[in-house]
Amino acid sequence: MIPKHRLIALAALSSTLAACGGPAIPRPAAAPRPPVAAPPTTVVRPVQHNSLIGNSADAIGRMFGKPRLDLHEGPARKLQYAGTACILDIYFYPARAGAEPVATHVDARTPDGRNAEVNSCAAALRR
């Protein structure tokens, strides 16, 4: 059984706390937000159409010889070929885990940094 003085203290405390609650103050309504578009579910990559896409690094090596740069990062690889007319960067990635990397992207530029056409640059470097 709970002593009487504790019951009185508990009742007083309950009354005090109940008085603190008071009526709720309404908050101003928030302005409606415009709907947000869902993020895309797939990454869209530009498709390149040139004679190098889909080739292995070995096939590219047979076309151009020894690269100026041969960089590896994880499963990715970059080969760079350079001549007086242009610089060609070929990027290789595996199509799926465990597959041989193939050329998936190619950049071409002039020695001063301007964009160059990939097939023309590749033809100039093959000569």
Cα atoms found within 13 Å of the Cα of residue 85, Cβ hemisphere only: 12
Q: Which residue has the higher pLDDT, 106 or 48?
A: 106
Asked whether residue 42 carries a pLDDT value surpassing 60, the answer given is no
Average pLDDT, integer, range 36-52: 58
CA 127 to chain centre: 37
Alpha helices for 41-80 (secondary structure H): 57-64
Asked whether residue 82 carries a pLDDT value surpassing 60, the answer given is yes
State the Cα–Cα distance between residues 83 and 122, nearest whole angstrom: 10
> Quick one: residue 60, left, alpha or beta (phi over 0 = left, psi -120 to 50 = alpha)?
alpha
Report pLDDT for 41.
Answer: 44
**Helix (H/G/I), strand (E/B), else coil: 127:** coil
Average pLDDT, integer, range 17-46: 58
State the Cα–Cα distance between residues 119 and 100, nearest whole angstrom: 24
Mean pLDDT, rounded, of the chain: 81
